[in-house]
Amino acid sequence: MRQALIAGNWKMHGDSQQIHQLLGELKPAVADAEADIAVIPPAVYIPLCDELLKGSNVVFGAQNVSEQREQGAFTGELAASMLKDCGCTYVLVGHSERRALYGENDALVAGKVAAALAAELKPILCVGESRAQREANETLEVVGQQVDVVLSTLADGHDQLTIAYEPVWAIGTGLTASPEQAQEVHAFIRSKLAAHSQALAEKVRILYGGSVKAANAKELFSQPDIDGGLVGGASLDAAEFAAICHSIG
């Protein structure tokens, strides 16, 4: 039985005062939640999250990582070993905004996943299709390619991988894939994992991301292949995020 995971991606939001308030409200609100819970702040606030989350059931991660395995002359980059040293548990890899705005392709994303696993971080691989690709009935082809490139380059540590299906057309738009639409893609991803290894298919968590909120979380999470959520804007509201965390079970 896979343990559900709810991860809150803060994107480029927040300051010290807001984070103190947000986590101060969130920790007691989710102390008895049945899901694993993570927040993913901007990198400069990772040490603050480490300080504020000690002794709680909430862990934290990073929004990006370098594909470079060794430290070196890579100005502006963050090595996976550095994130691990700062206490990160998870790291987002291949988020649609990184792909669209910063030109990250499947090969680069695969390199980042491998670097994260080598440093004993748990990568959350983000995959998903654009609205044009969905309307052209290319969803499974696009998502399958994104998953296959990563699986084909990894030798070990696959069971530490999490995959987040985030239809690009549903991110920050207020649109949400129906539970049936989401389940179809999640089941397809599960079949990809099974083709690689049945044990892998049973262990790897597949999250849904794309305008997840308290109002739709329970129905989404009730689907057999949806193991939790990658939550965007709603994770900046402690009460809303807590309600999503309690939607498991």
Catalytic site positions: 95, 166
The whole-chain average pLDDT of the chain stands at 95
User: Looking at residue 173, what is its pLDDT?
Assistant: 77
User: Looking at residue 170, what is its pLDDT?
Assistant: 81
User: Looking at residue 157, what is its pLDDT?
Assistant: 59
Tell me what percent of the residues of the chain surpass a pLDDT of 70. 99
- More confident of the two residues 25 and 156: 25
Nearest Cα residue to 43 out of 5, 72, 96, 79: 79
The three-state DSSP-derived secondary structure of 190-239 is HHHHHHHCHHHHHHCEEEEECCCCHHHHHHHHCCCCCCEEEECHHHHCHH
Q: What is the pTM of this model?
A: 0.96
Residue type, 69: R
Q: What does the alpha-carbon distance between residue 160 and residue 88 come to, in Å, rounded to a whole number?
A: 14
Tell me what percent of the residues of the chain surpass a pLDDT of 90. 86
Tell me the C-alpha to C-alpha distance, in Å, between residue 93 and each of 19, 62, 97, 108, 211: 23, 9, 10, 10, 19
Average pLDDT value for residue range 141-163 = 88
Q: Binning pLDDT at 50, 70 and 90, where does residue 169 land?
A: confident
pLDDT digits (tens, 9 = 90+) for 101-148: 999 999 999 999 999 999 999 999 999 999 899 989 999 999 999 999
pLDDT digits (tens, 9 = 90+) for 82-104: 999 999 999 999 999 999 999 99
Q: What does the alpha-carbon distance between residue 117 and residue 122 come to, in Å, rounded to a whole number?
A: 6
Q: Binning pLDDT at 50, 70 and 90, where does residue 172 land?
A: confident
CA angle (182, 155, 195) in 5-degree steps? 45
User: Looking at residue 156, what is its pLDDT?
Assistant: 61
User: Looking at residue 199, what is its pLDDT?
Assistant: 87
CA dihedral 11, 17, 18, 20 (to 10 degrees): 100
pLDDT digits (tens, 9 = 90+) for 4-24: 999 999 999 999 999 999 999
Domains of the chain and CATH, by start: 30-245 (3.20.20.70)
Give the tokens for residue 131. 């609205």
